[in-house]
Amino acid sequence: MRIGILTSGGDCPGLNAVIRGAVLKGTQIHGQEFVGFRDGWRGVVDADIVPLVRKDIQGIAKQGGTILGTSRTNPFEGDGGVDRITENMERHGIDAMIAIGGEGTLAAAKRLTDAGIKIVGVPKTVDNDLGATDYTFGFDTAVQIATDAMDRLRTTGESHSRCMVAEVMGRHVGWIALHSGMASGAHAILIPEQAISMDQIVDWVRSAYDRGRAPLVVVAEGFVPDHESDAHSERGLDAFGRPRLGGIGERLAPIIEERTGIETRATTLGHIQRGGTPTSYDRVLATRLGLAASDAVEEGRWGRMVALRGTDIVHVSFEEALDSLKTVPQHRYDEASILFG
Ligand code: F6P
């Protein structure tokens, strides 16, 4: 069987380890052949195809990014569509696809599967917000990068007796903020799932300062403070129709400074969290998902995604994969917030 692999949506560390795992298992055990589609669905629509043989994937598990490139192209827009994709696959002798991506990628994969195209999915999101899998690769790396950054922010904060505000990724959910904030001993963690008043934030900062600490506030980019809830939509949409985020740390810092009298600085970690070498945890998880994706193709599990449940790799339907956003549950937030005061 000849399989096309694509990586789609925002990148994250571990994508190359998935590709390597699938190609090694597929070529060595199942006798499968592989090609790569360049830049996600764009390469599928434009038939922009590169060979993927053993020498192409050697030593790539430790490399960040994706050797195939990625994009946020929707395969149903522009020149795309089922007929065009089917024709491209037939012309290039491609029998099936492994699509590595997040919610948008899996939604497109589901539509194509419903139209008869053979696809197996692999979950990917640095935000860790896909309900059908316990963890996504890339998340552990992002948390590690954010934690390292906060450890550094704390030492400079302590030198100057300043409050430091660190903005991390997390469009809809606060997993990166929760984990990096817990790991670095934050005095406040602000996430989209929790409505937290400015009064409460000021109290947490003040109380840490009064205990002789340099307050550290970790805020997820999707957090909306009470005074901004009406204005949230005013920042508009980006070119892909998503609400513009970012800058919440910069907006909170002057308010904290004014209301507490404590000098305050904000740092936005941004795409640093998605760059560079994956942690060993992410390499292992991504490799196992790649191995399982090759098996799933061999077994003809079309329309299913490989996922992590406990320590096992399982298969879930695309419907289940798309069914629920994995938000931070109340008890996990309560656990973390005990440490603030
Ligand atoms: O979904 C992952 C994510 O990293 C979000 O946390 C963030 O809002 C978004 O991608 C950034 O996307 P882009 O790379 O397109 O700016």
Q: Is the pLDDT of residue 242 over 90?
A: no
pTM: 0.95
CB atoms within 10 A of CB 153: 22
Q: Look over the chain and give the mean of its residue pLDDT values, rounded to a whole number.
A: 95
Q: How far is the CA of 58 from the centre of ligand 1 (A)?
A: 28
Does the ipTM surpass 0.90? yes
Q: What is the mean pLDDT of residues 40-52?
A: 97
How far CA 287 is from CA of 23, 25, 57, 95, 280, in Å, comes to 10, 10, 12, 23, 10
pLDDT at 243: 74
Q: Is the pLDDT of residue 188 over 70?
A: yes
- In the chain, domain spans: 2-127+278-321, 139-274
DSSP of 49-114? EEE--HHHHTT-TT--S-TT------TTSTT-SHHHHHHHHHHTT--EEEEEESHHHHHHHHHHHH
Q: What is the mean pLDDT of residues 317-332?
A: 95
- Residue closest via CA to ligand 1's atom 11 equals 10
Do the beta carbons of residue 194 and residue 174 sit within 8 Å? Answer: yes
For the question of residue 127 being annotated catalytic, the response is yes
pLDDT at 341: 75
Tokens of 242: 């998503």
Q: How far is the CA of 323 from the centre of ligand 1 (A)?
A: 20
Is 139-274 the same fold as 2-127+278-321? yes
What is the C-alpha to C-alpha distance for residues 212 and 235, in angstroms, rounded to an integer?
Answer: 37
Q: What is the mean pLDDT of residues 55-72?
A: 97
Of 127, 140, 282, 295, which one is the catalytic site residue?
127
**207-232: string of b/e by CB count within 10 Å (b at 16+)?**
ebbeeebbbbbbbbbbbbbeeeeeee
pLDDT above 70: percentage of residues in the chain? 98
pLDDT tier at 199, thresholds 50, 70, 90: very high
For ligand 1, is residue 127 a contact (CB within 6 Å)?
yes
pLDDT tier at 241, thresholds 50, 70, 90: confident
Pairing outcome for strands 304-309 and 312-317: antiparallel
94 among the known binding-site residues? no
Rounded to 5 degrees, φ, ψ at 34 are -130, 150
pLDDT at 65: 98
CB atoms within 10 A of CB 34: 23
CB atoms within 10 A of CB 251: 16
Do the beta carbons of residue 274 and residue 282 sit within 8 Å? Answer: no
Do the beta carbons of residue 162 and residue 312 sit within 8 Å? Answer: no
Query: What is the CATH number assigned to the segment(s) 139-274?
Result: 3.40.50.460
pLDDT tier at 165, thresholds 50, 70, 90: very high
Q: Is the pLDDT of residue 234 over 90?
A: no
Q: Is the pLDDT of residue 53 over 60?
A: yes
Which residues are CB-neighbours of 280 under 8 A, at least 6 positions away? none
- Residue closest via CA to ligand 1's atom 13 equals 10
Q: What share of the chain is helix, strand, coil (3-state, %, to 5)?
A: 45, 20, 40
pLDDT at 230: 65
pLDDT at 150: 98
pLDDT at 176: 98
What is the C-alpha to C-alpha distance for residues 41 and 20, in angstroms, rounded to an integer?
Answer: 20
Q: What is the mean pLDDT of residues 118-131?
A: 97
Query: Spelled out in words, what is the top-level CATH class assigned to the domain 2-127+278-321?
Result: alpha beta
Strand, helix or coil at 224? coil
pLDDT at 233: 53
